[in-house]
Amino acid sequence: MKISLNQLKNYVDINVPVNELCDRMVLAGFEVEEIVDLSESLKNVVVGKIEKITPHPDSDHLQICMVNVGDEVQQIVTGAQNVFEGAYVPAALHDSYLPDGTHIKKGKLRGVPSVGMLCSGGELNLKDCDYKGAEVDGIMIMDDRYPAGTDMREVLDLFDYVIDFKITANRPDCNCILGVAKEISVVLGVPFKAPSTEYKTVGGDINDYIKVDVENYDLCPRYIGRFVKNLRIKESPRWLKHCLNASGMRPINNIVDITNFVMLETGQPMHAFNYDELTGKHIIVRNAKESESITTLDGKEHDLTPDMLVIADGQKPSCLAGIMGGIESEIEDDTKNLFLESAKFKRDNVRKTGRKLGIRTEASGRFERGVDVVNVSYAMDRALSLICELDAGDVVDGVLDRNQGLPEDKILTVTTESINALLGLCVPEDTMLSILNSLGLPTTLENGTLTCRVPSIRSDIEGRADLAEEVMRIYGYHHIKGTAIRGEITRGKLMPQRLLENRIKTVMIAGGAYEIMTYSFIGSKATAALNLPADDWRMQTVNILNPLGDEYSTMRTQLTTSMLSVLSTNYNRKIPSARLFEISKRFVAKELPLTEQPLELPTMSIGLYGENEDFFTLKGIIEQLMAELSATVTYTRSSEPYLHPGRQAYAMLGDTPVAVFGELHPETADNFSCAKRTYVAEIWLDKLQGIEKEKVIYKPLPKFPAVSRDFALLCDIDLPAGTIESTIRAAAGKLCEDVKLFDVYVGSQIPAGKKSIAYSATLRSKESTLTEEEIERVAQKIIKKLEEIGAELRK
Amino acid sequence: MREQLSKIREEALVAVKAATALSEIEELRVKFLGKKGEVSSILKQLGGLSAEERPVIGQLANEVRADIDAAISDAKKRLEADALNQKLAAEKLDITMPGKSGKIGGLHPINTVLNDMIDIFQSMGFDVVDGPEVETDYYNFEALNVPADHPARDMQDTFYLSDNLLLRTQTSAAQIRTMKTRKPPIRIVCPGRVFRADEVDATHSPVFHQMEGLVVDKGVTMCDLLGVLEKFAHEIYGPETKVKFRPSFFPFTEPSVEVDVSCSECGGKGCRVCKGTGWIEILGAGMVHPNVLRACDIDPEVYSGFAFGIGLDRLTTTRYKISDIRLLFENDIRFLEQF
């Protein structure tokens, strides 16, 4: 809410500098977004009176003006042709600044010295509505109201500040000049001066001119109409135009300006109808009918639906209730008679209609935040008072006030003790009493109980907490002093899932991985880039109805695509290797379309590329994680379409896959512009929750030495190493301490279709030192069992 | 013979002393003390001596042998030490060359900051809880005192998944879930991801992170709120940090305040970081609105509470002076390595 400081001074004596005023308002709950010093926009530009004009000796179009600028006469060369001797004009002197930042200095034009420049309206950023004649072609010719030498800022009311107050959503009553002025009067402790609401009528009876019916009181709890005849449409006075400009509204004519000014002043939007354009002389507040439409003041045509409230005449919608008037009943220069509306419309209906039609106006914004039903008539009186003051028309007697009863003031009784208990302070009772009274909440105090009458304009005040806030923001939050919370001592605990994630992160970081964070929503086509079939569960996505764009439209069912995008970003920035992980959620709908909250399941992704990374570095990480989580898993081949068909696996916990990992399929790598050899894992942490960590019980250290035996084997290339290892372990039985793979070789010297694979088995007995014979016996058993699965000792 | 022996001794001691290699020593040992060495050959001649002379010369010969032996052993030690020193000198390394170690990765900076905050509040006895990111209209708005026609709904542009389901716009939704499942005393913080339909730019992200705090008990006051936030600010920004309340509005708290801390960059004198004000706005807070307590079946006449919501992303960008919030979600490794 932008307000001119000079305007505010009409209602309250502001006896402090503007910065202090703003600081104190901030402390009372009114944030100040901006303070604009209007006088900064123009410097050293004065009213000049042209005394003499002579042609320029070296130019056809330049003229030399001798200009009286107050104390002296200065020579200014101009190219404009509309100047004449005796004219009052704006003169920018040496070292002056114009609104667009232009710095004017003395100089020579074709050899003739000129101390400055005569200005056009455009150069002063003025339109006809700001100063009559400002848009003329040439220099702005002014009237003689101000003597030569007068600072143009005085002429243009620029010795003023515009303060932009940020009004919180709970204070619609302060979305206006009077609301802010009342708060200032409380904050500064100076009286508030209400503007006049008195007006004269010329007799007659409104009922002879027009009829008003409200069909839908739900959407329009109050509607007031007045009739003004013999309009005298003209330009508004300077003060009014200045006030509108300061608040960012364009002056149009006195009637329209009065309605806009009253809205700014009282917060109540008004609407002016050209009475003679109203068919049937009948105003009906009703829902729009099917296939009705309206052309609004901005010239746009809108198709209406029955959920929209309109102000119709006897035939058609004439105004979109609370949003914008129709072009047909617009007030124009020759409008004779006025039907003036002041009403309350239901806020969410105004919002919905405005959104649907894509219109938001100063008026609709105020209705959306809520206007006060009582203030509706106050604003009407104020508008009529201004119509009289500006002699804009003759007010006809009679008021059409349609409502279904007005609310009574709320009475709240609250003990001062309970307010202090909430605050943790001892605000004196009398202080509370005087603060509440000064805020327009008539309050009495008896035996420590405050009885407070809350008018409807402060509908935000509902009880003790609200009164505590009112007291506190005036009493001052600096009185609050920090205290320790009391009560029983509690131990802060983490949820099991967070503990699990912390363990995982420790392992990942120790392993050299960096944690990433990506958005929870991905592009609608991202999942499909994994080449998943349409019926895959990951393709059954939950979608955002109003996304920022297609690339942020789908809640992810997997983290891999986000990981691939990040790997791609790094790869394409020529970063040679990456080891990354993310822990977040995947969103899985219980059913589609969505009827209840989707499952949000903790999920982890890992991504690697670079010369030291391969399938087994990734598998190594998975193994470490599973060990940390005490998950005893087995590995089986998987068949994810986005992974290399021969280099991917599930980690299985029993029959449940808990992770899938492998090398990226070259096609997927292409889809995401990733490194050719990229490795990714997706780990479904929800399936790894709740595994009890095995209780640690000390095992005695071995007393007898271990021996190791190597087995260099030749077998079919497809015989899994896992099978060989488990065969060795089984054959060695309880003597087996460890089995390690230490070499795999395929190539020359090995028959085609075969591989050479070598293991080292460590054997140890708990009872004695193993003898040669015992060792040999076990070795032979191992060899025999290996032969049974097709692995023979290399000769 | 006597003279022969002293000559041998003299010759041997000189030779041993002059020796510069272990192999030389070994040769000298063989030459003087070996089976066929010079001392032995003297001893072999003992038989030709008189009975009186035999023990005398014999003793002398043994003394000579012992002397030479001792000299050889000393020389060996000396040469071995020399050899070791030479070897060590040859093994000298350029200790400015880099060490060999596996790389250690790192947490995302937002989580580093979050962990610090969790530590602070956990140590004050706050449980750390989580809530769903997809919320119902009821938990995100209705129960937080934002009914359907409330203008505060416009304060936050919300992503909808259906008429009734949305991406939570604030972690405050977790307040309700907590109060519906726990009885006072309640002390929780709920960190998490929140969503608002803000176009992406240097200071806005449609996905960001908050930590909600909630305390509900008998006799909880606004001074307690300040006490907790002061503790938090001292831990995060340093013990000199001042905390101040400014009145504000949130539908789910009453009274509501914005909380400013004195600028840690300039100590409150005013600088570019605090835009010359000396203060930085860090969070919104307030006393839990009675309507919110009622919605959770907690009697506002008996219990009171406070709540606060801290923006993690902002805290992270200020702490590390990150100029563009997009860097947090871009995940360039050269960025991640810095934390």
The CA-CA-CA angle for residues A123, A127, A130, to 5°, reads: 110
Q: Give burial (CB, 10 Å; 0-12/13-18/19+) of A74.
A: buried
Give the separation between CA A306 and CA A689, rounded to whole angstroms: 53
pLDDT for residue B154 is more than 70: no
Check CB contact of A350 with chain B, cutoff 8 Å: no
The secondary structure of chain A in percent helix, strand, coil, rounded to multiples of 5, reads 30, 30, 40
Token pair 């250290």 is found at A701
* Paired strand residues for A340: A226, A272
DSSP reduced 3-state for A400: strand
Give the separation between CA A355 and CA A363, rounded to whole angstroms: 14
Contacts of A503 in chain B (CB under 8 A): none
Of B219, B223, B145, B277, residue with least CA distance to A472: B223
Yes or no, beta carbons of A495 and B129 under 8 Å apart: yes
Give the fold, CATH level 3, of A43-155.
Answer: OB fold (Dihydrolipoamide Acetyltransferase, E2P) (2.40.50)
What's the pLDDT score for residue B285?
96
Which CATH number applies to A2-39+160-188?
A: 3.30.56.10
Output the average pLDDT for chain A. Answer: 94
Q: Which CATH architecture has domain B109-336?
A: 2-Layer Sandwich (3.30)
Of B305, B306, B124, B308, residue with least CA distance to B218: B305
Give the separation between CA B197 and CA A548, rounded to whole angstroms: 7
Tell me which residues of chain B, numbers 292 to 331, contact chain A at a CB-CB cutoff of 8 Å. 300, 304, 328-331
Please give the C-alpha separations between residue A69 and each of A96, A545, B138, in angstroms, as whole numbers: 14, 65, 69
Yes or no, beta carbons of B105 and A512 under 8 Å apart: yes
In terms of CATH, what superfamily is A206-403? Answer: Phenylalanyl-trna Synthetase, Chain B, domain 3 (3.50.40.10)
Contacts of A569 in chain B (CB under 8 A): 330-332
Average of per-residue pLDDT across A680-692: 94
One-letter identity of residue A669: A
Query: pLDDT (tens digit, 9 = 90+) per residue, A44-53?
Result: 999 999 999 9
- Domain ranges across chain B: 2-90, 109-336
- For residue B62, the surrounding DSSP H or E stretch is helix B53-90
What's the pLDDT score for residue B206?
94
Query: pLDDT (tens digit, 9 = 90+) per residue, B270-290?
Result: 888 888 889 988 899 999 999
- pLDDT band (50, 70, 90) for residue A252: very high
pLDDT for residue B36 is more than 90: no
Query: pLDDT (tens digit, 9 = 90+) per residue, B198-221?
Result: 889 988 899 999 999 999 999 999
Query: pLDDT (tens digit, 9 = 90+) per residue, B235-280?
Result: 999 999 999 999 999 999 999 999 999 988 888 888 888 888 899 8
Average of per-residue pLDDT across B71-79: 91
DSSP reduced 3-state for A635: strand
DSSP labels, A463-530: SHHHHHHHHHHHH-GGG-------SS-----B-HHHHHHHHHHHHHHHTTPEE----SEE-TTTGGGG
Give the separation between CA A182 and CA A190, rounded to whole angstroms: 10
A225 versus B100: the higher-pLDDT residue is A225
Tokens for B302?
């008996």
Contacts of A28 in chain B (CB under 8 A): 247
DSSP labels, A711-735: EEEEEETTS-HHHHHHHHHHHHGGG
Check CB contact of B242 with chain A, cutoff 8 Å: no
Contacts of B134 in chain A (CB under 8 A): 542, 555, 587, 597-598, 600
Of A369, A21, A39, residue with least CA distance to A165: A21
Tokens for B12?
């041997």
- pLDDT band (50, 70, 90) for residue B45: confident
What's the pLDDT score for residue B156?
62
- pLDDT band (50, 70, 90) for residue A77: very high
Token pair 């260099």 is found at A712
Query: From the list B230, B245, B290, which residue is nearest A465 (CB)?
Result: B290
Q: How far is A369 from chain B (nearest CA, A)?
A: 5
- pLDDT band (50, 70, 90) for residue A460: very high
Q: Which CATH architecture has domain A496-688?
A: 2-Layer Sandwich (3.30)
Average of per-residue pLDDT across A364-370: 93
Yes or no, beta carbons of B161 and A544 under 8 Å apart: yes
Give the separation between CA A188 and CA A24, rounded to whole angstroms: 8
What's the pLDDT score for residue A191?
95
Yes or no, beta carbons of A465 and B247 under 8 Å apart: no
List of residues 6+ apart from A384 with CB closer than 8 A:
A199, A226, A228, A340, A395
Give the separation between CA A174 and CA A470, rounded to whole angstroms: 14
Which CATH number applies to A410-475?
A: 3.30.56.10
* Paired strand residues for A446: A449
Contacts of B148 in chain A (CB under 8 A): 348
Yes or no, beta carbons of A573 and B134 under 8 Å apart: no
Query: From the list B104, B251, B328, which residue is nearest A512 (CB)?
Result: B104
Yes or no, beta carbons of B126 and A472 under 8 Å apart: no
Check CB contact of A546 with chain B, cutoff 8 Å: yes
Of A160, A155, A159, residue with least CA distance to A121: A155
Contacts of A491 in chain B (CB under 8 A): 125
Average of per-residue pLDDT across A708-731: 94
Q: How far is A632 from chain B (nearest CA, A)?
A: 26
Yes or no, beta carbons of A600 and B159 under 8 Å apart: no
Of A380, A8, A347, A445, residue with least CA distance to A185: A8
Tell me which residues of chain B, numbers 180 to 199, contact chain A at a CB-CB cutoff of 8 Å. 185, 187, 193, 195, 197, 199
- pLDDT band (50, 70, 90) for residue A744: very high
DSSP reduced 3-state for A379: helix
- pLDDT band (50, 70, 90) for residue B155: low
Yes or no, beta carbons of B154 and A368 under 8 Å apart: yes
What's the pLDDT score for residue A26?
95
Q: Considering only alpha carbons, which residue of chain A is nearest residue B218?
A: A487
Query: pLDDT (tens digit, 9 = 90+) per residue, A426-441?
Result: 999 999 999 999 999 9
- Domain ranges across chain A: 2-39+160-188, 43-155, 206-403, 410-475, 496-688, 707-793
Tell me which residues of chain A, numbers 315 to 334, contact chain B at a CB-CB cutoff of 8 Å. none
Yes or no, beta carbons of B227 and A482 under 8 Å apart: yes
Q: Considering only alpha carbons, which residue of chain A is nearest residue B228?
A: A484
List of residues 6+ apart from A599 with CB closer than 8 A:
A587, A588, A589, A590
Query: pLDDT (tens digit, 9 = 90+) per residue, A598-653?
Result: 999 999 999 999 999 999 999 999 999 999 999 999 999 999 999 999 999 999 99
Which CATH number applies to A707-793?
A: 3.30.70.380
pLDDT for residue B60 is more than 90: no
Query: Peptide bond preceding A57: is omega within 30 degrees of 0, i.e. cis?
Result: no
